[in-house]
């Protein structure tokens, strides 16, 4: 048993908000902290932590207790095991008899399971760090750019192959340390040979990633095969990743890889970064994005979503750029919206994954992820959503349920506008489909169901058309805010001076310089509502979204503006020339005529560069 004085010392030393804060994002609320309860599903916090009383209480489901009880409840560990873990964490020295107690007497099933997984984790780690059998593992980790420090944070290990250490390296280790092999089999670490009934290792020749709870318990493993141990047999390929089996300890759908290393950073950075693979997580942490986690070989689930929801309200999805990745992204967006979490997307091109993208480009995309609904809409458009009346209706049908999930009416309004712009549908139609209760019914005559008034007003007086070059530049900038850098940025501000376009350019450039995304709704709010229709047609069409040569379009736009600018100077020069001629200032007349000629020449040269590119500028 644990001596009373040691128990008291531990209870005094424990910082209850730190222990619970590993699992729940806590916000100060007076002298207490509050957060989302880990014991029942909720969207508004009713879970309180009281530092003075060193306790927690949920007013939703009634759970309460101290830090030890909290850990027992979330981790399922016994009292003794929990105390042992917390004593480690808060540097309390327990008597050797308690600390090293390996007998099963005081331990519950879960404790025993955890001791097996922890023994295995320690073994794999030891092999990777220093044993000759780990040479290939070390070499591969180095090739993948995994540094010492990060390897330690993730407690990465190596399961040796039969050529390196026989078929039963882990079996031997577990036996030596007195663990039950049947238990290890249930946990999916070892298997029994049908032929001779001997146990052998399930993980062989693999880089090992333990799946660790925020409190530090090892729930299971995910092992990535080393390329050197990959079967060359096409008929019987070696799976790239294998996971330890679902068990009392390990449910893939309920936990995320990297959570123990990420949870603190998710809270401080205010977002979680969701990537596909374990190595993506590790490499992102190494590059300073310690808020990265991954679903475990399964699709992202609503349980995993709930886990993240307790830590943050923003999740940035960055899956691979293939078809499967895009599909998984769409599913994750829906789950996150359901959980009232704001989804954003860092889109990768086909064939790209976070490790293969140029780091600088990837950083920029990470800084400014696309709002998920915008990503979703742009995907629909790229897939032909605006090709026909029917395809528009189908696209609206797909996006409406997502819009309906948005709680904030202003945000919903902005996205309804964006959807209307991109799908080229009337705002009112999208708006009524986006109403949470309407579900496709005709809009009621309820003022709350009307789109924001300023934006929907119809044009009363005819608008003069937009200057072509300026509209082209504005459209490019709206679709690709990073297209204009440095000098081009200055030129844009100089050339785009139409009162309907200039505020939009300003708005996009400002937001881009702050690394912020600006919605179409926000931009339209900057200009006279009468101009909205014109702007829809000329600017918010999304026609440069997939533009492969934005720089060329930029140059074309600037050239067009220059041509127009020169044109506007000519009448002025003609007036000056007439005046100089009347006054008999012959020299000035000659200079003006020469200047006019030069301008015309320049204009002709500019026009010549435009001739090849007529498809963009018309």
Q: List the end-to-end C-alpha distance of the chain, in Å, as a whole number.
A: 84
- Residue 197: CB atoms within 10 A of its CB come to 7
Q: Which of residues 152-181 bind Zn ion (CB under 5 A)?
A: none
**Pick from 37, 33, 31: which is nearest to 58 by CA?**
37
In this complex, which beta carbon is closest to Zn ion, that of residue 45 or of residue 557?
A: 45
- Residue 100: CB atoms within 10 A of its CB come to 10
- Tell me the closest approach of the beta carbon of residue 39 to Zn ion, in angstroms: 4
Sequence-distant (≥ 6) Cβ neighbours of residue 484 within 8 angstroms? 476, 477, 492, 509, 554
DSSP 255: -
Q: Which of residues 16-55 bind Zn ion (CB under 5 A)?
A: 37, 39-40
**Pick from 213, 186, 276: which is nearest to 240 by CA?**
276
Site size with Zn ion, rule: CB under 5 A: 6
**Rounded-to-integer distance, Cα 442 and Cα 432, Å:** 7
- Tell me the closest approach of the beta carbon of residue 306 to Zn ion, in angstroms: 12
Name the token pair of 122: 């320690």
- Tell me the closest approach of the beta carbon of residue 58 to Zn ion, in angstroms: 3
Sequence-distant (≥ 6) Cβ neighbours of residue 514 within 8 angstroms? none
- Tell me the closest approach of the beta carbon of residue 28 to Zn ion, in angstroms: 19
- Tell me the closest approach of the beta carbon of residue 70 to Zn ion, in angstroms: 12
- Tell me the closest approach of the beta carbon of residue 38 to Zn ion, in angstroms: 8
Q: Which residue has 């981790």 as its token pair? A: 75
In this complex, which beta carbon is closest to Zn ion, that of residue 254 or of residue 327?
A: 254
61 binds Zn ion (CB under 5 A): yes
Among 19, 24, 36, 58, binds Zn ion (CB under 5 A): 58
- Residue 57: CB atoms within 10 A of its CB come to 17
**Pick from 85, 75, 79: which is nearest to 38 by CA?**
75
In this complex, which beta carbon is closest to Zn ion, that of residue 70 or of residue 495?
A: 70
In this complex, which beta carbon is closest to Zn ion, that of residue 307 or of residue 508?
A: 307
- Residue 606: CB atoms within 10 A of its CB come to 16
In this complex, which beta carbon is closest to Zn ion, that of residue 58 or of residue 539?
A: 58
- Tell me the closest approach of the beta carbon of residue 29 to Zn ion, in angstroms: 16
In this complex, which beta carbon is closest to Zn ion, that of residue 37 or of residue 554?
A: 37
- Tell me the closest approach of the beta carbon of residue 42 to Zn ion, in angstroms: 7
Q: Which of residues 102-131 bind Zn ion (CB under 5 A)?
A: none
In this complex, which beta carbon is closest to Zn ion, that of residue 309 or of residue 467?
A: 309
**Three-state DSSP state, 337:** helix
Quick check: 256 and 310 in contact, CB under 8 A? no
- Tell me the closest approach of the beta carbon of residue 405 to Zn ion, in angstroms: 24
In this complex, which beta carbon is closest to Zn ion, that of residue 58 or of residue 279?
A: 58
Q: Specify the stretch interacting with Zn ion by CB under 5 A; choose among 28-36, 59-67, 318-326, 541-549.
A: 59-67
- Tell me the closest approach of the beta carbon of residue 57 to Zn ion, in angstroms: 9
**Three-state DSSP state, 396:** helix
**Rounded-to-integer distance, Cα 492 and Cα 487, Å:** 9
| Phi and psi angles of residue 26, each rounded to the nearest 5 degrees, phi first | -105, 140
**Rounded-to-integer distance, Cα 522 and Cα 416, Å:** 12
Sign of the alpha-carbon torsion through 482, 488, 489, 495: negative
Instruction: List the x/- string, 389-428, binding to Zn ion by CB under 5 A.
Output: ----------------------------------------
- Tell me the closest approach of the beta carbon of residue 61 to Zn ion, in angstroms: 3
Q: Which of residues 327-386 bind Zn ion (CB under 5 A)?
A: none
- Tell me the closest approach of the beta carbon of residue 36 to Zn ion, in angstroms: 9
Q: Which contiguous run of DSSP H or E holds residue 186?
A: helix 181-186
Name the token pair of 303: 């349980």
Q: Specify the stretch interacting with Zn ion by CB under 5 A; choose among 56-64, 196-204, 208-216, 410-418.
A: 56-64
In this complex, which beta carbon is closest to Zn ion, that of residue 61 or of residue 454?
A: 61
Quick check: 551 and 581 in contact, CB under 8 A? no
**Rounded-to-integer distance, Cα 186 and Cα 28, Å:** 42
In this complex, which beta carbon is closest to Zn ion, that of residue 39 or of residue 90?
A: 39
DSSP 95: -
In this complex, which beta carbon is closest to Zn ion, that of residue 24 or of residue 305?
A: 24
In this complex, which beta carbon is closest to Zn ion, that of residue 10 or of residue 58?
A: 58
**What is the DSSP track for 308-324?**
HHTT-SEEEEE--SSHH
- Tell me the closest approach of the beta carbon of residue 47 to Zn ion, in angstroms: 6
In this complex, which beta carbon is closest to Zn ion, that of residue 58 or of residue 184?
A: 58
Q: Specify the stretch interacting with Zn ion by CB under 5 A; choose among 58-66, 220-228, 298-306, 437-445.
A: 58-66
Sign of the alpha-carbon torsion through 280, 285, 288, 292: positive
Q: Specify the stretch interacting with Zn ion by CB under 5 A; choose among 61-69, 219-227, 328-336, 428-436.
A: 61-69
For residue 269, CA distances in Å to 55, 222, 223, 311, 325 come to 27, 27, 29, 10, 25
Quick check: 192 and 198 in contact, CB under 8 A? yes
Q: Which residues bind Zn ion (CB under 5 A)?
A: 37, 39-40, 58, 60-61
């Amino acid at each position: 048993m644990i001596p009373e004085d040691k128990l008291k010392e531990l209870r005094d030393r424990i910082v209850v908000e730190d222990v619970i804060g590993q699992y729940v994002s806590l916000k100060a609320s007076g002298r207490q902290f509050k957060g989302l309860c880990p014991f029942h599903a909720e969207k508004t916090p009713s879970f309180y932590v009281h530092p003075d009383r060193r306790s927690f209480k949920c007013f939703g489901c009634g759970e309460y207790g101290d830090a030890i009880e909290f850990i027992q409840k979330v981790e399922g560990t016994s009292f003794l095991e929990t105390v042992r873990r917390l004593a480690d964490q808060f540097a309390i020295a327990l008597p050797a008899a308690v600390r090293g107690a390996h007998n099963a007497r005081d331990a519950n099933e879960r404790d025993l399971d955890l001791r097996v997984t922890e023994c295995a984790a320690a073994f794999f780690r030891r092999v990777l760090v220093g044993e000759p059998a780990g040479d290939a593992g070390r070499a591969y980790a180095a090739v993948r750019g995994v540094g010492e420090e990060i390897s330690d944070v993730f407690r990465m290990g190596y399961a040796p192959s039969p050529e390196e250490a026989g078929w039963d390296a882990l079996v031997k280790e577990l036996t030596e340390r007195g663990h039950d092999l049947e238990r290890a089999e249930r946990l999916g670490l070892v298997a029994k040979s049908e032929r001779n009934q001997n146990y052998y290792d399930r993980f062989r020749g693999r880089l090992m990633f333990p799946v660790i709870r925020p409190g530090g318990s090892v729930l299971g493993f995910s092992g990535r095969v080393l390329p050197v141990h990959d079967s060359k047999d096409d008929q019987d390929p070696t799976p790239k990743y294998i996971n330890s089996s679902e068990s009392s300890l390990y449910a893939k759908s309920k936990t995320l890889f990297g959570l123990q290393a990420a949870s603190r950073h998710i809270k401080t950075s205010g977002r979680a970064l969701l990537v596909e693979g374990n190595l993506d997580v590790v490499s992102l942490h190494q590059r300073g994005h310690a808020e990265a986690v991954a679903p475990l070989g399964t699709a992202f689930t609503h349980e995993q979503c709930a886990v993240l929801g307790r830590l943050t309200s923003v999740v940035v999805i960055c899956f691979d750029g293939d078809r499967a990745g895009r599909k998984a992204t769409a599913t994750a967006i829906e789950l996150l919206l359901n959980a009232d979490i704001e989804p954003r997307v860092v889109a990768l091109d086909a064939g790209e994954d976070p490790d293969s993208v140029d780091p600088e480009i990837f950083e920029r995309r990470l800084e400014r992820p696309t709002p998920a609904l915008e990503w979703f809409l742009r995907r629909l458009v790229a897939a032909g959503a605006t090709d026909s009346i029917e395809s528009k209706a189908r696209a609206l049908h797909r996006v409406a349920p997502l819009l309906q999930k948005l709680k904030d009416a202003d945000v919903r309004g902005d996205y309804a506008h964006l959807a209307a712009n991109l799908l080229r549908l009337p705002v009112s139609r999208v708006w009524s489909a986006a109403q949470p209760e309407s579900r496709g019914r005709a809009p009621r005559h309820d003022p709350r169901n009307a789109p924001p008034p300023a934006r929907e007003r119809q044009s009363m007086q005819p608008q003069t058309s937009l200057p072509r070059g300026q509209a082209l530049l504005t459209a490019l900038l709206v679709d690709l805010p990073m297209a204009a850098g440095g000098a081009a940025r200055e030129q844009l501000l100089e050339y785009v001076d139409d009162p309907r376009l200039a505020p939009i350019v300003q708005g996009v450039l400002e937001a881009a310089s702050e690394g912020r995304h600006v919605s179409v709704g926000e931009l339209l709010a900057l200009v006279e509502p009468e101009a909205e229709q014109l702007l829809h047609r000329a600017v918010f069409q999304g026609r440069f979204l997939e533009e492969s040569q934005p720089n060329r379009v930029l140059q074309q736009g600037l050239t067009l503006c220059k041509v127009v600018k020169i044109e506007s100077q000519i009448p002025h020069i003609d007036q000056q020339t007439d005046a100089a001629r009347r006054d008999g200032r012959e020299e000035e007349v000659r200079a003006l005529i020469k200047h006019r000629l030069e301008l015309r020449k320049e204009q002709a040269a500019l026009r010549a560069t435009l001739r090849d590119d007529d498809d963009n500028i018309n």
